[in-house]
């Protein structure tokens, strides 16, 4: 099959491409390199089944494909808040263009949505029926509301134009290739511990997140694309940890002497987050299998290698 992966040079997109290439598909990787890295797709650049397209999805593009994994969008709070209007354009105009493309070529379209559509949730764990608690004028809303509109567009193209859609609500995902400058908690803690600088805990560290290893997530995305269930479906690891627990785990694994420093909690930072994955289990026969310690070890090894290479 010929498959378009938007945001394919990013963290999740590049791991997804590794799996799809291994399955023998022809891959079009589309990226504007806002937060993506050439290094993530280096291994495929000369492969005859792989094509790289530098393009910004806020502009229309004509391509011929069978499936579209639509992942293009900055994902970490630091990046998506850096240029919030661009984040909205990417989610709204970008998703509209990709749905227009799906409509023209009759491709199946998978949207990488997010647990952020639940905002600071008042229902715990979050089920797909929960409609969320999002501040529409806060610093996170360019992303949260952007993704909510992207979901609306997908469902309207489904109802109005019979587009074959799939909607995944992805929860916090981590693993090798996360950018050190990304600002996300796992990449920050791991890099800080390796560099021997204090781990920055925002607030009192009692807020929770549930961390899914990237290979598990990619398997979930592919299962969703290949199955009949259109979603929205939560994809994440239900193992829930406080940020302080995560800091202590990284500290123990990398550097027991590393210090913790407390910094102010960012505005609108959700207090708790944990996916209810009943639907993913039932409809996709999917659940994550990599425990946090194991996934962290693989992530730490990757960061150590990159940080060492930088010093050479």
Q: Which helix (H) or strand (E) holds 191?
A: helix 185-195
Question: Which of 62, 129, 160, 257: binder of ligand UDP (CB under 6 A)?
Answer: 62
Residue 101 interacting entry, from ligand NAD, ligand UDP, none, C-beta within 5 to 8 Å by type? ligand UDP
Q: Which helix (H) or strand (E) holds 166?
A: strand 165-170
List, in sequence order, every residue forming a beta bridge with 90; answer none if it has no partner: none
Shortest CB 114 distance to ligand UDP, Å: 8
Residue 34 interacting entry, from ligand NAD, ligand UDP, none, C-beta within 5 to 8 Å by type? ligand NAD
Residues in Cβ contact with 194 at an 8 Å cutoff, skipping those fewer than 6 apart: 254, 255, 300, 303, 304, 307
Q: For ligand NAD, which residue has the nearest CB? A: 10
Give, as ranges, the residues between 105 and 164 that touch ligand UDP (CB under 6 A). Answer: none
From the list 113, 132, 137, the residue with the least C-alpha distance to 230 is 113
Shortest CB 16 distance to ligand UDP, Å: 20
Q: How far apart are CA 270 and CA 73, in angstroms?
A: 20
Q: Is 243 in the site for ligand UDP (CB under 6 A)?
A: yes
State the distance between the two ends of the chain, measured CA to CA, in whole angstroms: 41
List 69, 80, 118, 143, catalytic entry:
143
Residue 157 is a catalytic residue = no
Between 19 and 81, whose beta carbon lies closer to ligand UDP? 81
Residue 210 interacting entry, from ligand UDP, ligand NAD, none, C-beta within 5 to 8 Å by type? none
| H helices present in 203-273, as ranges | 214-226, 243-254
Q: Is 12 in the site for ligand UDP (CB under 6 A)?
A: no
Q: How far apart are CA 226 and CA 297, in angstroms?
A: 30
Q: Catalytic positions, please?
A: 143
Residues that bind ligand UDP (CB under 6 A): 60-62, 76-77, 96-97, 100-101, 103-104, 172, 184-185, 188, 200-202, 207, 209, 243, 265-266, 269
């Amino acid at each position: 099959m010929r498959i378009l992966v938007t945001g394919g040079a990013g963290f999740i997109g590049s791991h997804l491409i590794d799996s799809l290439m291994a399955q023998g598909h022809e891959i079009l990787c589309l990226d504007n390199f806002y937060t993506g890295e050439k290094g993530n797709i280096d291994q495929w650049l000369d492969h005859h089944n792989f094509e790289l397209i530098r393009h910004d999805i806020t502009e229309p593009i004509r391509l011929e494909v069978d499936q579209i994994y639509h992942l293009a969008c900055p994902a970490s709070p630091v990046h998506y808040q850096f240029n919030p209007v661009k984040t909205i354009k990417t989610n709204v105009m970008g998703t509209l263009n990709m749905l227009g493309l799906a409509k023209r070529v009759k491709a199946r379209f998978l949207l990488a949505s997010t647990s952020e559509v639940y905002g600071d949730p008042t229902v715990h764990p979050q089920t797909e029926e929960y409609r969320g608690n999002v501040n529409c004028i806060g610093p996170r809303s360019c992303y949260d509301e952007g993704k909510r509109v992207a979901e609306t567009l997908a469902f309207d193209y489904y109802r109005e134009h019979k587009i074959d859609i799939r909607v995944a609500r992805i929860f916090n995902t981590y693993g090798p290739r996360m950018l050190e400058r990304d600002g996300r908690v796992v990449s920050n803690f791991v890099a800080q511990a390796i560099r021997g600088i204090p781990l920055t805990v925002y607030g009192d560290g009692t807020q929770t997140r549930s961390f899914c290893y990237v290979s598990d997530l990619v398997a979930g995305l592919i299962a969703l694309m290949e199955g009949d269930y259109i979603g929205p479906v939560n994809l994440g690891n239900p193992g829930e940890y406080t940020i302080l627990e995560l800091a202590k785990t990284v500290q123990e694994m990398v550097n027991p002497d590393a210090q913790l420093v407390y910094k102010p909690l960012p505005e609108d930072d959700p207090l708790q987050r944990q996916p209810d994955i009943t639907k993913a289990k039932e409809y996709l026969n999917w659940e994550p299998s990599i425990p946090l310690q194991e996934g962290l070890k693989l992530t730490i090894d990757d960061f150590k290698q990159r940080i060492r290479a930088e010093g050479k």
